Structure 1
Amino acid sequence: MAEKKKASKFLGTALLGLLGVSLIGFGTGGFGTNISSIGKVGDTTIDANDYARALDQELRSLGAQFGQNITFAQAQQFGIDRSVLQRVIAQTALDNETMRLGLSVGDAEVAEQVRAVQTFRGLDGQFDREAYAFTLERAGLSEAEFEADIRSEAARNLLQAAITTDTAPSDAYVDLMFSYLAERRNITWGTVAETDLETPLAVPTPAELQTVYEANPATFTTPEAKRLTYVWLTPAMLADTIEIDDATLRELYEERIDQYIQPERRLVERLVFEDQDTAEAAAAQLAVDPSGFETLVLDRGLTLEDIDLGPVAQADLNGAAEAVFALDDTGVTAVVETDLGPAIFRVNAILTAQETPFVEARDDLASDILANRAARQIQDQARGFDEELASGATLEDLAAESDLTLGTIDWTPDAEQDIAAYDGFRQAARIVGAEDFPEIAELEDGGIFALRLDEVIPPTLQPLSDVQQQATLAWQEAQRTAARAAKADAAADSLRAGTALPDLGLDEVIEQDLTRSDTIPGAAPELVQTAFEMAIGDVRTIEGESATYIVRLDAVNGPDADNPEITALRDAVETAARQDISQDVLDAFTAAVQADARVQLDQGAINAIHAGFN
């Protein structure tokens, strides 16, 4: 039963992936070709659509991870295309092995898994034939193709389950890992900070400054920089040249009236039932325990996202408005008859009515209009600027004859001032070369720019006279660190000899039952890490950013058998080890069958798919 649920969940997720890339069009001429396969593993073809969808999903995943779109060229630099190809080959190798072994599932199993996919359910939580057909049509799949995919996936699951059976780790291994993770330690520690030093810091002599300067040239060396000349024009630069009358502002205010005048709204969920009796029984249950609403939703095979209506006003709810807005606070309504059948509504929050008068909205409206008009003016001029540059005009020429502003910058990747604050400019500055001609490019706010590389300034060691203050700070920090370390070393020697830290004028902190995952507020992370590298009675010093730590290990204790979270950790260790072993066994098996079956790839087809992503 567990395997069926797992497979159904996978299929629902896989279908969403198919929908996400339904416009790719492989196998249907989406790239001007009719690619159906990119090769074979044994007697089984490697489906081109499978590879294309896997690539697209990986790109989307990377984009979500980095917070920006990832181009296919960037993905190739990370080896994503090769990784995805190997994954699809491995899956096809398992498909080929299931065919060789004659593994498959019957129509009843396929039908059950189709009905279990959440995407194919209607509002009543039951399988909806029309939703099934519509969803597959949007994904560019026939029912036969999708059900064949289900059958293949189910067969692979059977094979994988057989391969990974009986992969439990040994008790000795689990006990060893559990003891390592859950072992506890008692420590005594203290710190030596600058305030604990008796001698104030001196002022360095010229000779001492020279020594620091010569010993740390990298500290006083500027990074490589690009000296750039640029022109730019942004909407903000044109704001003073654009006039807006009140009539225009009021017209925009009326267009956005729903934004500035909002009636009371409520965050509402609607749970529809098959009949009145079922709805009344649920209402009676909620009258006793209002917190049981989520359980009712889950029992119907739905999620809270499925029933969420979002923020709604009275006008949005038709006949249900009276019951929903009659609630004085959050809660559930009685049974309400709706177009979809009897339903219960839950109000999760009440959003009070809001009204922003024209006078208060005026500045925002004017800002939007100014930005839009200025951006349009800039875009209208951009093509002409580009043509002038292509005809031989210099950046200086453009600035002299237009509203473009001329500037220069010694750009480094750390630069963030003025135009360097724009991502578009930074990207262009990063790749511009000496042979590149200036071209008009866009900025994020609707502005434009063009740049020219004048020279590359190599890393330069600055004269000591220019960095004297920086050298003084470096010398003082070195003196401060050395003084702290000397006092901490002396205190550590005294602690080993039996003198307590308070007797040395230092604060003492006692920590008990620390585990490897614990942190001590305000202390360097290395403090706990070091404690687990020590033997009982050892004393060590640790250099931190603003203090030197002294730590003594007082005791080593085994896992806390009375702590349910710790005892549950052993089960987690065993589960993780079982999964790791299972994956290793599966990887080894997949590699073996892949080698036996002989992989044949059509590099031309693969390249054609790659071209579709560029």
Structure 2
Amino acid sequence: MLHAMRKGASGWLAKGLLLLLVASFGVWGIGGDMLSSSVGSNVIEVGDKTVSIGEFQRDYQRNLNILSQRFQTQLTAEQARQFGLAQMTVNQIASRALIEEKTKSMGLSADDTAIREMIRSQPTFQNEFNQFDRFRFEQFLRQNGYSEGEYVEIVRHDIAGQQLINSMAIPAAATPKILVDTLYAYQAEKRSANYVEILDSTIEFAAIPSDDELKEYIANNPERFSAPEYRKLSYITLTPENFTEEGDISDADLTEEYEGRISEFNVPEQRGVSQMIFENEDQAKAALAKIGGGTTFAEIALSDLQLTPEDIDLGLMTQQDLLPELQGPVFDLQKDGISAPVKTVLGWHLVQVTEVSPETIKTKEQVREQLKKDIQLRKAFDVMYQEATKLEDEFAGGATLAEAGKTIGINVVTTDWIDSQGLDKQGQPVAGLPGGEAFLVEAFAKPTDSEAELSDSRPAGYYSVLVDEIAEAAVKPLADVKTAATKDWQNNWRNEQARKKADDLLVKINGGATLAQIASQEKVSVKSTAPVLRTGQSSELAPSVQAGLFDLQPAAYGVGANASGNGYVIYGIADIIPADAAADKDAAEQMATQVGSSIRASILTQYENYLQQEIGISVKEDLIREYF
């Protein structure tokens, strides 16, 4: 229970990072028999390769950022757990490591030329002229937290992995033609429908329900007319703020803290860097000669590479931010100096230093308040841990919540009626509840006679909650919901009558009447839909009717709910447009590609399972769960 405090107060490689993430999120898992819990700081071991908790956290955070961007909102830690992001990250890292270990054992690698060509060919990094865009590349690295060196190594392993994976590729000609043709004929067939619509609103008369009918309707739909379960709670909370002392911190304490954390306050030397990258050394030398003749660095970038000043500006860079080959040349330059051509895996670089920001170290006085607060908070954590231990001892000895709280000077807080969402009976949020969702989940899982115990409160602290009273979820009295229930009952009754009417009209059509005759009788028009694929989306037909349309035989009719959900349609086939592979070669080829990819994915999955057994995987599931 106090373990979190005791531990300290303190698929496959693909082209590009995003494809790498998507691939690893596929149907790939590590079985329970492969999860172990050995000692040490490493959380994943694949053969000889180990992954520390820090490395895992970096990949986890990167994946969290990517998912947050995809959903256009910052995902919370709880939402990440619901998505199973930790397991996704395990799968990603383990899959990548399996390939790295296998390619290493086979002696597969990639030279700098292949790496450069791979990076420059990525559509993500190309402009509208299909040329490598340095600005887009730098933007990608910044957004995903990579230095150039790190990304180069990812691509190096990626290429080696592709060499292995591509050896198992299935040629397009080997994809079973009969399978492709059958699937294409099924998927690419289109149908359109003729239909008439019977709306609920055409049922003008609505019966008045009796009380017994309303009670039956409410009993069949209790979720519409019920009050949620409410509870009254008592709880105590322990947070560092409860134990933060405002007393003076000695200068000796501040000095010790400062000296122990001096690296945090050291801002390394930085250089403002502008950079051009050329295909070969001759181009770089020619550009340098032009600069020597009086043309500016920015003018050369624009004329030779079509890059604006913003495109070539890398911003302030530390020495470690640069590729190894560039670190010395760049940091040997003075302000406004320009390097000789330097070769890296990305090409031939010319670099200009536009700004020099020397190394600085914040003084103790500059960070005095920060140091003071950190020391106070750390001391508060220590005190909180000690007080939490006292509480556990009190609870173990049979003390009540109030008695235990009194021993450490914490008062019990009681709530009025509250539901599982943290709302009061007026639907307003109850302020000050500890522990987030976990607190409410625990509070609504306990009986009234449960014993007090201490629980972790995220992000830091503890709470203990007991249930004083429970008001079970119950259907509201008829008198309180009669008006709403009557309206719902009548709407439901009209819908049922519209369905009966549509069924009766279908009988007439099956007896020989035409859809046009039915439309004339009902004073509505026959409507027609645009052709739609079996798996396409139609704004004119409800999904159930669209599926039914492809089950109908010619000249047959069916009945189903309309797209708006306020009536029914009687529908039949207007036209069948068979699949035509010759007329849509791209779609047919795409189907062949999909079938081949599916077969290939199955083979790769089996091979990956084999690698798991051959190389071996160990994952410290408990440690990962504790952190994430």
After TM superposition, the score normalised by the length of structure 1 is: 0.55
Of 145-154 and 473-482, deviating more is 145-154
In the other structure, the counterpart of 2:481 is: 467
SS at match of 2:534: coil
In the other structure, the counterpart of 2:419 is: 411
SS at match of 2:165: helix
In the other structure, the counterpart of 2:66 is: 61
- Structure 1: 5+ residue runs without aligned partners? 1-5, 16-32, 231-269, 284-295, 310-338, 342-382, 397-406, 443-449
Contact 1:518/1:528 (8 A) holds in 2: no
Distance 2:124 2:585 in 1: 39
Q: Summarize deviations over 1:121-157 as a string: whole Å, max 9, x none.
A: 9xx98999xx9xx99xx9699x6x8766554332212
Residues 92 and 498 (structure 1), Cα distance of their counterparts in 2 relative to 1, 3 Å cut:
same
Distance 1:488 1:194 in 2: 11
Q: Summarize deviations over 1:15-34 as a string: whole Å, max 9, x none.
A: 9xxxxxxxxxxxxxxxxx99
Distance 2:499 2:133 in 1: 71
In the other structure, the counterpart of 1:354 is: none
Which of 502, 525, 531 is the matching residue for 2:519?
Answer: 502
Of 83-92 and 412-421, deviating more is 412-421
* Counterpart mapping for 1:339-488 below 5 A: 391=409, 393=411, 408-413=416-421, 415=423, 419-420=428-429, 427=437, 429=440, 431-432=442-443, 454-488=468-502
Is 1:95 the equivalent of 2:95?
A: no
SS at match of 2:571: strand
- Read off the aligned partner of 1:547 and give its amino acid letter: G
Of 107-116 and 75-84, deviating more is 107-116
SS at match of 2:167: helix
Which of 193, 216, 227 is the matching residue for 1:187?
Answer: 193
SS at match of 1:411: coil
* Counterpart mapping for 1:56-455 below 5 A: 56-65=61-70, 67-71=73-77, 75=80, 79-106=84-111, 108-109=113-114, 150-166=155-171, 168-197=174-203, 200-227=205-232, 300=305, 306=311, 391=409, 393=411, 408-413=416-421, 415=423, 419-420=428-429, 427=437, 429=440, 431-432=442-443, 454-455=468-469
Distance 1:271 1:534 in 2: 65
Contact 2:195/2:527 (8 A) holds in 1: yes
1:482: Cα distance to partner?
2.0
Residues 205 and 414 (structure 1), Cα distance of their counterparts in 2 relative to 1, 3 Å cut:
farther
- Structure 2: 5+ residue runs without aligned partners? 1-11, 22-38, 236-273, 278-286, 315-335, 339-383, 385-404, 459-463
Contact 2:134/2:311 (8 A) holds in 1: no
Distance 2:581 2:453 in 1: 71
- Read off the aligned partner of 1:470 and give its amino acid letter: A
Residues 12 and 484 (structure 1), Cα distance of their counterparts in 2 relative to 1, 3 Å cut:
closer
Residues 304 and 580 (structure 1), Cα distance of their counterparts in 2 relative to 1, 3 Å cut:
farther
1:228: Cα distance to partner?
6.1
SS at match of 1:413: coil
- Read off the aligned partner of 2:180 and give its amino acid letter: V
Contact 1:120/1:127 (8 A) holds in 2: yes
Which of 45, 48, 62 is the matching residue for 2:49?
Answer: 45
Which of 565, 590, 596 is the matching residue for 1:572?
Answer: 590
- Read off the aligned partner of 1:472 and give its amino acid letter: T
1:546: Cα distance to partner?
0.9
1:516: Cα distance to partner?
2.7
Contact 2:532/2:538 (8 A) holds in 1: no
Residues 272 and 533 (structure 1), Cα distance of their counterparts in 2 relative to 1, 3 Å cut:
same
SS at match of 2:569: strand
SS at match of 1:84: helix
In the other structure, the counterpart of 2:605 is: 587
1:468: Cα distance to partner?
1.9
Contact 1:228/1:411 (8 A) holds in 2: no
Residues 221 and 156 (structure 1), Cα distance of their counterparts in 2 relative to 1, 3 Å cut:
same
Residues 211 and 87 (structure 1), Cα distance of their counterparts in 2 relative to 1, 3 Å cut:
closer
In the other structure, the counterpart of 2:270 is: none
Distance 1:423 1:530 in 2: 53
Which of 593, 607, 616 is the matching residue for 1:599?
Answer: 616
- Read off the aligned partner of 2:107 and give its amino acid letter: G
SS at match of 1:192: strand
Contact 2:191/2:532 (8 A) holds in 1: yes
Contact 1:272/1:340 (8 A) holds in 2: no
Residues 214 and 14 (structure 1), Cα distance of their counterparts in 2 relative to 1, 3 Å cut:
closer
Contact 1:217/1:461 (8 A) holds in 2: yes
Distance 2:308 2:597 in 1: 28
- Read off the aligned partner of 2:196 and give its amino acid letter: G
Distance 1:175 1:191 in 2: 37
Share of identical aligned residues, percent? 20
Which of 492, 511, 526 is the matching residue for 2:544?
Answer: 526
1:90: Cα distance to partner?
3.1
Residues 54 and 411 (structure 1), Cα distance of their counterparts in 2 relative to 1, 3 Å cut:
same
Residues 482 and 182 (structure 1), Cα distance of their counterparts in 2 relative to 1, 3 Å cut:
same
- Read off the aligned partner of 1:45 and give its amino acid letter: K
Contact 2:193/2:573 (8 A) holds in 1: yes
Contact 1:415/1:421 (8 A) holds in 2: yes
Distance 1:471 1:12 in 2: 51
Distance 2:164 2:605 in 1: 13
Q: Summarize deviations over 1:405-430 as a string: whole Å, max 9, x none.
A: xx845435395967429897874555
Distance 2:519 2:176 in 1: 48
Distance 2:553 2:432 in 1: 52
- Read off the aligned partner of 2:601 and give its amino acid letter: Q
Aligned residues: 434
Distance 1:543 1:101 in 2: 60
SS at match of 1:559: coil
